[in-house]
Chain A
């Protein structure tokens, strides 16, 4: 039973991909980019889910997928125009399909009510048109097996003669299962019984491929069959029997009336792939023609129904083609990759230790060993980059989930919202992507719920009725920046201020800048909406979002313009594993300063240093006065400030542009360090982003530049009484 569970697991993994494909396809169509390829891809995705679900007896899923598929088929065949209304239903269907898959995965049952409404809506689309092709076929007396659209164009004349073949015809089916067919628990006997039910069947088994016993693979597939069927059913109906196995066998169906060489692309034959490509290309044109030159309805429907029937073999070929290309990727258990990442981390540490050890042993600079070590360093770095690249994932899947959140939030708040996504292909470490889902969901909900005004208000303010929420991702100086932007009313600072006063977060007299007020939103226990709405007000505030983002080493900031909207931007490290840092000494302790934060390093001149008030100093860098922070004091290593002239100044900048000059005693080195979590065995320590292991095996702390700038460099000593009582 375990292997069955494995297969099921694989199915659900594939479902995830397919659902992603489905949604992105639908979104493309919504954005007007959908061509018939997209429609076909969407159809295939639903079809594959249905197929897999059928194999596992997930009846709910199959039933819904079937209706969904049927509707998509109408769209694919251009019988149903993909109007915004239709697309909205399709998108919601894809959400429900995702829910059903999820439920099936967790062995849950979803109530009927989840699907009922949609099933009706979907059926309505199909119902309007469902009769049409049949009537048309009956009128024209055409029920043929092959579509001119599907095969090469120059065969049109051949098919032209086939128009009226109504009576029973003979098909020759060559069926050669691959081992996968059996592995997927399919049974050839059942297939043949199904065929037999359609008409008179004559089966010949070819056992010539069976090898001798010594080389026979018990799980191999050596038999093939030639089945002659005399039936009044169409080829499409024959193909339906093979629906769930068509990817796992070589299947060739020929109608005997036709000359062999003109008909059927041999699906398993590699040479037919170009032809298939051409075929699908033809499909595109055919589809368009169907729409534009639809003066003769019967004809049009005809063409379409032919196209539909041909689609199955085409889909098969495309599926197998896709299989070929997807061979280039493999699924790897995440645990294995994590192990590799850890090992590479150890390798980096080890390489640093080795280098240090060699020089400590008194090796001359310029020795050949040094060159070797340098090469090792390069290699290590390359290995590391490659390993990180394995873990990197585009944020696309994450963004797509957000489009659903927008749809749901828009429905719940009865606002009309348009989601714009940019930079979906931006790659971020998998862990980061995963841990971003919740905060991002919350931010998107907030943008729709609090950010955007109602349509009436928008129109009254001269804005388009439909609000826009944009979600963008981009690489910016070694970090990934994700922005959630709405074109709503912006932050009502008056209200935020009064609420903060009311809640005792600030006092009446506090003078706050606009950005200070905006940042109040991140205070624990702050919520601007007095009425707890359906969406927000679940006790999760922006403070939780902020903490979640900080937990992955990210930062969040707000900018807002009254009447124009607000932008929340999250900046994240590319990876949670390795960081480029400057190794510095402070009060006999070794610290690592993230390179991304450092703008420049300099030796200050006495004339650059100026006193500002009691004890505070600023440094003038090219005419700009920047506050000086003594790293030793802010880390609590010493209480007396060092003379800035004896140390080195690191000019640093935070994400939101705040600058400071951090004084350290000396700079040791600049290198990659492996990030080690302090949280794992201890907890978060203010001013410390994480820890790392140095070449000598000792731990160095990685400075959290933002945190020490926020505190203005003052040392926050630990107060015993702030400890929770223990005991």
Chain B
């Protein structure tokens, strides 16, 4: 798998952490809209976790449809998804790996296990997981 980078603004990181904390005790989730070719996130879209679970997430399908259409109109795309692990490390679980929908996406994990949220990003291709670097920009 090629080495890759996800580029985020600091505000995106804060937005993901805040949404995940607000979603407690459930897992929080949302989509990343950006430029697929560069891995640059343009905006974060927090969504409802329709699984309503502390151990599973499922992005609200209608929010996904709306986000996809809006992104396409701007020449952007959904380039990834974020979700929280409320009591485990920020590493994709077997469920995350099996259900990873798109090999071109970035998979961001926000762990709420520690005192402060811990965020990591991964690529998941054909069941193989590779962590990627997160480039934080102002």
Co-complex (A, B) = no
